[in-house]
Amino acid sequence: MADLYIKAFDMINPFVVASSPATQGAKNVLKSAAMRPGAIVMRNFGHGAGGGSYIGPDSKAMYSGQMSIHSHAVGRQIQDTVSTLEQYCAEVQKAKKSLDSDIKLWVSVGHYSDIVKGGDWEREWARQARELKLAGADAIELHFNTPGVAVAKDRTLAYHQLLRHSIELMKKTVPDMPIMAKLAMESCDVLTSMRIAEAAGAAAAGPTARWKGFCMDLDWRTTQARPGAGYGGTQATPLVCYAIAEARTNGVKLPLYGGGGVFSFDQAARMIMAGSQAVQFGALACSGGTQACKKVISELDRWMDKNGYKDMDSLCGDALKLFQMDQKFTLERQNKLADAYQYAQVTDQCIGCGRCVDVCWQEGIEMRGKVAAKTDQCIGCGYCFQVCPTGALHVEKEKLLASVFEKHNITRGMTE
């Protein structure tokens, strides 16, 4: 079995259950602990109700790891029964008392609505940090990813300035407490956010893809009850991966725990291979439940073992070899595939549907009677290969692309 231990976070595995209804109060924290994650973030208090989700197209897609979206939407929201810091600290103490000792308990502090409302929010956040440290929390997470927080920067607050100030405030208040910065990707330069978090002394940063979104049915009257805000899903994972890889390529060394669309082990693996030491369960935890999350953890373990990744060091950042290809290397792979596309001929699996001709912009393929045939005008762009429904146009794309790495002795995993 692969070793899932994460040195940068001192966690038993790379999974963090994000602040959500699944972590609201000690009871839900302990329920979530059944999945055996590396850390659980107890949801912050004082910001009203939470919960109620729409999974598109359906829960089957989410459970099976297919492309799916998540948005706040249906049913009555879960009320927050904790309204004071004293109650919140009591919940932390209760959770710590029963939580397995090898699972970290982070606590969520701060919310941009505190700043929008005005008042002495800095003193309040500092008070929370001090009391939560005494209550036994393992780390503090500054909550700056709520959908809309980055949009608000142009209306109410300067996001990057606020981020630096708040981290420095926490560091000054509880200097020996790890400060995790959960970051927005909406309407802000997330690379700058990660650089600022690192410079300000954060222990880690969690770029998280959640946006204000407007989900609707074509008959908009049947649309879920809350069509706006809190939009995310598997379509966000490539964006998070890019942000993480860009940070690593530009010298950001800060430990990262990215989030967005981790509904299956392969989404988690992609994020880690992009350079994030850990990943967040948010939507899957509250909308899929503990068993779905537990499955992702075990499947990542099995996949790593099967594919020769012995530990997290060998997996983390492995895909940066792809992200950081220079232009010459990229062109070599592109031309390798283009040559195969250009010289591959239509096989007898052709059914004469004409889709290939419809998407050809070079007159590189034509219908001859009831079947398609290549012409000498083909340049190998590959459009026709993407739409062929039968495989009559086919090349071993994966093997061709991988062969260039093999030629240059670039392998998966850590090199000795």
pLDDT at residue 129 is higher than 90? yes
Domains in the chain: boundaries: 7-316, 325-408
Q: Is the pLDDT of residue 73 over 80?
A: no
* pLDDT for residue 414: 60
* Local confidence band at 416 (pLDDT 50, 70, 90 cut-offs): very low
- Residues contacting residue 377 through CB under 8 Å, at least 6 positions apart: 362, 363, 364
Task: Indicate if the pLDDT at residue 168 is higher than 50.
Answer: yes
Tell me, what's the pLDDT at 315? 97
Total-model pTM = 0.94
Alpha helices in 175-289 (DSSP H): 190-200, 237-249, 265-273, 283-288
Long-range contact pairs involving 303-310 (C-beta distance under 8 Å, separation at least 24): 303/265, 303/266, 303/269, 304/2, 304/4, 304/269, 305/1, 305/2, 307/412, 308/412, 308/413, 309/2, 309/412, 309/413, 310/2, 310/3, 310/413
The β-bridge relationship of strands 69-72 and 232-233 is: antiparallel
Digit-coded pLDDT (tens) for 342-381:
999 999 999 999 999 999 999 999 999 999 999 999 999 9
> Beta-carbon neighbour count of residue 1 at 10 Å?
9
Q: Which amino acid is at 192?
A: T
Q: Selecting from 3.30.2020.30, 3.40.50.300, 3.30.70.20, 3.30.70.100, what CATH number does the domain 325-408 have?
A: 3.30.70.20
Of the candidates 41, 160, 15, which has an alpha carbon nearest to the alpha carbon of residue 107? 41
What is the C-alpha separation between 260 and 361, in angstroms, rounded? Answer: 37
pLDDT of residue 415: 45
> Domain 7-316 falls in which CATH fold?
TIM Barrel (3.20.20)
Work out the pLDDT band at 118, boundaries 50, 70, 90.
Answer: confident
User: pLDDT for 303-336, tens place per residue?
Assistant: 999 999 999 999 999 999 999 999 999 999 999 9
Per residue in 238-272, pLDDT tens? 999 999 999 999 999 999 999 999 999 999 999 99
The pLDDT of 192-220, averaged and rounded, is 94
Helix (H) or strand (E) holding 223: none
In tens, the pLDDT along 385-402 reads 999 999 999 999 999 999
- Given this model, what pLDDT does residue 152 score? 65
Is it true that 7-316 and 325-408 share their CATH fold?
Answer: no
Is it the case that residue 155 has pLDDT exceeding 80?
no
